[in-house]
Amino acid sequence: MKMKCLIIDDEPIARNGIADFVSKIDFLETVGTCASALEATSYLQEKAIDLLFLDINMPYLSGLEFLESLENPPLVIFTTAYSEHALDGYRLQVVDYLLKPITFQRFYQASLKAKQWHQMLSSPKQNQLDPFLYVRQEEGFQKISWIDILYIEGMQNYAKLHFKDKVLIIHQTMISLEETLPKEFFFRIHKSFLVNVTHIDSISGGRVFIKGEELPISRTRREELLKEVVYKNLLSR
């Protein structure tokens, strides 16, 4: 079954270009186009949509503001002429971030990723994005939401899970946590630190800043973070 797509962009040429790309991909189908986020709000109330191609810089209500206003948004691929919102894309857990002018190769890669996400979310048994995780603590296991983890600090056979309002010490190694947590969202910046990229506020020099905390990042890991996590979806391969 084809994924039902809604294209939201205030530029007619951009809307037509994306619709043309969609028509060339057999698992996608354009069911509507909107010239503003306000128009799209009404559309989503009436139609079932699997995937949004969403421009960010639009009048009245930006793509970011629109997405943040949705209680249960569909999958989203940002389409924009500006690169400064890359971290917002990860914070809002969008599928991909396409920088205009968009090549078909890059568009097809993003569409394949959306298809994979859609299949995972549609198949509970194979859902790798389950927001809950069971961690070992004392004599038993505790259920936590990995979405709320800011970063993890390794301490030999233990690990500190740092949340916004608490720190949880668990009897589990950093390696086992890294293997368990979704690689789309967690990145090893240092031998002792694993961070949730959706909570990164900024990267400066050899430091990553998360909610007022400064974490060290090695030079090789910094380049990898910028390439694979922040700018991965901006580069055409």
CB 151 within 8 A of CB 194: yes
State the 10-residue block means of pLDDT for the chain, 237 residues long. Answer: 96 97 97 95 91 94 92 91 72 84 92 83 55 72 85 90 92 86 87 89 87 90 74 41
pLDDT at 234: 41
pLDDT at 233: 42
pLDDT at 210: 92
Largest CA distance in the chain: 61
Name the packing angle between helices 104-122 and 12-23 (round to 10°).
70
CB 195 within 8 A of CB 151: yes
User: What angle is formed at CA 101 by the lines to CA 97 and CA 104, rounded to 5 degrees?
Assistant: 75
Phi, psi of 144, rounded to the nearest 5 degrees: -130, 165
Listed in order, strand segments (DSSP E) in the chain are 3-8, 28-34, 51-55, 75-80, 96-99, 132-137, 140-145, 151-155, 158-162, 167-170, 186-190, 193-196, 202-204, 207-210, 213-216
